[in-house]
Amino acid sequence: MARAMFDYTKAVLSKVSFDVNLFCKELKKALTRLLPHEIEELRIWINELIKEKPQLNRCLIYL
């Protein structure tokens, strides 16, 4: 079940990555639902996403 939440979170964040404010909002919600090791995986995934979309860099403060 927990892995499904992680995959769902990545899907949602991918879909809202066009809007920085929405991305940050969804990221904050995700951090309340994910397990600590999943948050670390998410951090790695977001760092890769930021290479393609550098405007999302400001959302890293929530991690």
* Beta carbons within 8 Å of 26's beta carbon, 6+ residues apart: 9, 12, 13, 16
Q: What are the phi and psi torsion angles at 8 (to 5°)? A: -65, -45
User: Which tokens in the block code for residue 26?
Assistant: 């969804």
pLDDT at position 63, please?
87
Whether 9 and 30 have beta carbons less than 8 Å apart is answered as: yes
Tell me: pLDDT of 1 over 90. Answer: no
pLDDT at position 3, please?
85
Q: Give the domain ranges of the chain.
A: 2-62
Query: Full-prediction pTM beyond 0.75?
Result: yes
pLDDT at position 21, please?
96
Whether 9 and 33 have beta carbons less than 8 Å apart is answered as: yes
> What's the pLDDT tens digit per position in 7-58?
999 999 999 999 999 999 999 999 999 999 999 999 999 999 999 999 999 9
pLDDT at position 2, please?
59
